[in-house]
Amino acid sequence: MHMSEDTTVHAELRENFGKGFARRLRAAGKIPAVLYGHGTDPVHVALPGHQMLLLVRHANALIELDIAGKSQLALVKDVQKDPVNQIIEHIDLVVINKGEKVQVDVPVIVVGESFSGTIVNQDAQSVSLDVEAISIPQHVEVDVEGLEEGARITAGELTLPQGAVLLTDPEVLVIAISVPAAASADETGAEDEAAADASGAADDAATESE
């Protein structure tokens, strides 16, 4: 597989650690990261901030690191962000060998529109898959076109990319189609009002006859 230029990331080896140094790195537009994997010692690197910000918008980003002239495939495993300003504070990377399979959580995306008047309840936002490291899907699509109230789609019914194996329990509910509660409540409310009007009229009649 040929990695495109924009996924080739120049990583600088770093010898210094600690919060102060990490802060200085971020001030210089770089992100501290650690590369783990396959029984090797963790490698501490600094990555270009803007490029990584674009790459990690996708779940399970696969990148080709250029570390001191050596090329190494890596999977973005964890991105730690500052909760307030959303700046990336640290990235965990995992060493990937070509031909290797990896276990990843992949987002489930709903496509299509369910039957008029119904709503789509998405119970599971992602599913776990066993996939080829160099062909990790961006997402799994679930088509709800025309589905009516009561329809249910479980993880086992999803159409997976070729070669992907489902690790999530196939019985896990992903999609359930229902009618909004407000619609049925309005009908019940109308019935209650009609009943109240009827009993009010009976009371009036009883008062007049006294």
Taking the chain (210 residues) in consecutive chunks of 10 residues, what is each chunk's mean pLDDT? 65 81 88 89 93 90 92 93 88 91 94 96 97 91 97 97 96 96 56 54 51
pTM over 0.85: no
Contacts of 71 (CB under 8 A, 6+ apart): 64, 65
Q: Long-range contacts of range 96-101, CB-CB < 8 Å, 24 or more positions apart?
A: 96/37, 96/62, 96/133, 96/134, 97/38, 97/73, 97/133, 98/1, 98/73, 98/133, 98/134, 99/132, 99/133, 99/134, 100/132, 100/133, 101/130, 101/131, 101/132, 101/133
pLDDT of residue 4: 46
Edge-to-edge order in the sheet of strand 140-143: 140-143, 101-111, 126-132, 165-166
Take residue 100 and report the two structure tokens written for it: 């290797």
pLDDT of residue 20: 80
pLDDT of residue 39: 80
pLDDT of residue 191: 52
pLDDT of residue 7: 82
Domains of the chain: 5-96 (2.40.240.10), 103-182 (2.170.120.20)
Backbone angles phi, psi at 188, to 5 degrees: -65, -40
